[in-house]
Amino acid sequence: MDQEVDKAQILVASNRGPVSFSIGDDGTIDFRRGGGGLVSGLSSVAAETDTLWVCAALSDADRKAASAAPEGRLDRAGYDLGGASVRMLDIPEQTFTNAYNSVANSTLWFVHHMLYDTPNKPHFDAAFRAEWEDYRTYNAAFAEALLTGADDGAKVAVQDYHLALVPRMMRGRRPDLRIAHFSHTPWAPPEYFRMLPGDVGRQLLEGMLGADHIGFLSPRWADAFLRCCATFLRADVNWDNRTIDYGGRVVEVGVHGLGADAEGLRERAAAEDVAQWRSRLRETVGERKLVLRVDRSELSKNIVRGMAAFGELLRDRPEWRGAVTHLAFAYPSRGDVAEYRAYTEAVRRTAQEINDEFGTDDWTPVILEVKDDYARSLASYQIADVLLVNPIRDGMNLVAKEGPVLSENGVALVLSTEAGAADDLGSDALLVNPYDVTETAQALHDALNMQDAERQERNARLVEAAVALPPQRWFGDQLRALD
Ligand code: G6P
């Protein structure tokens, strides 16, 4: 952590917290620390600064652990949370479901990633209005917990689309606080954002503008946000400095890119379970080339078109039949949302169709695993020849950055132009239009044919770019922006 950051208390708010609980067969509560940029970012300051992380309880086990913790603080219940103090909010189930599944994940996520199949969805009826009220209630619960937990002059870092209303809900009541909002997603262009009904769009923009600083992962998303503020609020936007003059306050919009946590990754990848997975995967793939993808099973990740591109490669370039395996790890995600379940089924069907068309007794073209296993993902990064990252839209995409860091022999990266990561990696990746299956098939072919020397040189430059913005720095930048 750089020295110039002052020692004010730091509060973080996010839907998903840094820790999760589960109840074992014998009824005991087990806890697991999560990963990700925010966890490493906050851990780096937690040792020297007073911190409080407010998040939602996401399971019965979370609720049980949270309710048993003294003053609702999990660290005070003796869990090792790396020095951070964590408070999990027990939001009533219906409120949470409406806020998280319906508004955040089925609406805001869809708008920012442009995922709607518009002849059918969105469909903003009376039910949506009620869900929106629950989203407000859920945001208010976070605002209240932060207001209660914040010392004078504290810095508050509110994360993501789940909590867009929180900054404004806090602003009027505590002018002493310094508030940042950070979006991990893309931001919708005005043409898409305007689909939101009634004054929902206005409430979201005004909610975020309650912050002093609003951060995005890519200049593209920051500029889209500015465009929405200019279009829907008629706010006075300074495009050069990225500031917004609105309601008598000037709010700064910043770009804070996020890179791979190289040290953390390498340390984790050195563990025995990763080594075991590495040999098992090597055995499965054998001498064949390996095209890898690692994602949540998520509509925005564009897994079906990625597989279709692999199918087209096999169809048009018979030389690859039997010579390459596509490993697709698609971790279960947001299973309460019907579109996600249907999408995962479509992913399974597509894999099956390709295997039916091309598979032989001793070769399965697509090996799809819909199961979370971090050690297996790290092992697969080590041995992949080609890494396919083709999202429709993505705030950043850390797979594109982590893969090259762990690659042993250099990996050729096929990357969507619509991922924030393309800003940093674009010159050494093979860029593709995520909707263009034929172009993606061609890129896979080029990537598979890339000479060793070129692939390794590109990989070295990818790594350099990927580690340039470690999570500690990314988080520190958000805080420094509040100084
Ligand atoms: C994205 C979002 C995060 C979210 C994560 C996992 O990266 O930006 O806020 O936590 O997806 O999604 P989930 O719904 O499982 O928390």
Residue 91 structure tokens? 């939001």
440 CA distance to ligand 1 centroid (A)?
Answer: 26
Reply yes or no on whether the pLDDT at 4 is more than 60.
no
Among left, alpha and beta (phi > 0; psi -120 to 50; other), residue 13 is beta
Average pLDDT over residues 254-272: 96
Q: How confident is the model at residue 42 (pLDDT cuts 50, 70, 90)?
A: confident
394 CA distance to ligand 1 centroid (A)?
Answer: 12
Same domain, 289 and 197: no
174 lines ligand 1 (CB under 6 A): no
> What tens digit of pLDDT does each residue of 315-350 get?
999 999 999 999 999 999 999 999 999 999 999 999
Query: Is the confidence metric ipTM above 0.95 for this complex?
Result: yes
Burial class (CB in 10 A: 0-12, 13-18, 19+), 96: buried
Same domain, 88 and 219: yes
Please give the Cα distance from 411 to 395 (Å, whole number): 22
Same domain, 267 and 219: no
Same domain, 340 and 300: yes
Average pLDDT over residues 253-264: 95
Same domain, 248 and 267: no
Q: How confident is the model at residue 3 (pLDDT cuts 50, 70, 90)?
A: very low
What is the DSSP track for 188-236?
A: --HHHHTTS-TTHHHHHHHHHTTSSEEEESSHHHHHHHHHHHHHHS--E
Average pLDDT over residues 79-100: 92
What is the percent of the chain with per-residue pLDDT over 70, rounded to a whole number? 99
Same domain, 382 and 318: yes
55 CA distance to ligand 1 centroid (A)?
Answer: 13
Tell me the average pLDDT of the chain. 95
Same domain, 455 and 348: yes
Give the residue, out of 38, 160, 162, 337, with the most ligand 1 atoms within 8 A of its beta carbon, to mutate for a pocket test: 160
Give the chain's domain count: 2
Query: What residue has token string 């110039």?
Result: 4
Same domain, 309 and 406: yes
pLDDT at 25: 87
Same domain, 159 and 272: no
- The alpha-carbon radius of gyration of the chain (Å, integer) is 23
Residue 363 structure tokens? 């070769």
Same domain, 114 and 185: yes
Beta bridge partners of 461: none
> Residue 81: which domain range?
3-258+472-480
401 lines ligand 1 (CB under 6 A): no
Q: Is the pTM of this model over 0.95?
A: yes
> What tens digit of pLDDT does each residue of 368-383 get?
999 989 999 999 999 9
pLDDT at 80: 81
Report the CATH number at residue 321: 3.40.50.2000
Which of helix, strand or coil describes residue 410? coil
pLDDT at 1: 44
Among left, alpha and beta (phi > 0; psi -120 to 50; other), residue 358 is alpha
15 CA distance to ligand 1 centroid (A)?
Answer: 8
Same domain, 164 and 290: no
Same domain, 320 and 382: yes
Reply yes or no on whether the pLDDT at 83 is more than 90.
no
In angstroms, the Cα distances linking 57 to 165, 183, 204, 470, 482 are: 19, 21, 23, 28, 28
